[in-house]
Chain A
Amino acid sequence: DVKVTQSSRYLVKRTGEKVFLECVQDMDHENMFWYRQDPGLGLRLIYFSYDVKMKEKGDIPEGYSVSREKKERFSLILESASTNQTSMYLCASSGLAGMGYFGPGTRLTVL
């Protein structure tokens, strides 16, 4: 069974804090993704990575950065959290065919 795990299910942070969200997959997948999901807006791609140390911007990269130092781990960083970054954050991984598997999600609240 594919497993994608995320470091936290719920997180509450203050405006201006640096926030780290971590994602780990156990299927040796090349591709990893970070999305955010907001009511009425669907899934929006923040960043994706197709290999270690490789990253590409998605549709909404502003205010975020990512790190992929190992194949199984993909981190999302909010350099200075803002209230408009309150959202559900979803990590996914996929092999070359592209069938993506999602983690359980992190519900981040920025106060």
Chain B
Amino acid sequence: NAGVMQNPRHLVRRRGQEARLRCSPMKGHSHVYWYRQLPEEGLKFMVYLQKENIIDESGMPKERFSAEFPKEGPSILRIQQVVRGDSAAYFCASSPPGDRYGYTFGSGTRLTVV
């Protein structure tokens, strides 16, 4: 079992560009969660998705951020027109259906906006 796979591991974007972060959940997991970790801070929830559905996006900034989890392929977190304040580590976690205790995190994508 390969675990939760995130790519790229590191991503550098210039201000105004788009960032696309990908997450493949563990085999058998159909729930995906995205968290953001700012330097010296804990993880903050962004969005929770199931296949083809956004279940809870209460932690997502209202503008420039979007997420999807298509029927086929990985979940994508998309940040449009990135700004310096978007620089952070973005972690994806997955869990099996009905098991909120079965959280497994990926190794994250470190986004740097220059």
Q: Do A and B come from one complex?
A: no
Query: Which residues on A are within 8 Å of B, measured CB to CB?
Result: none
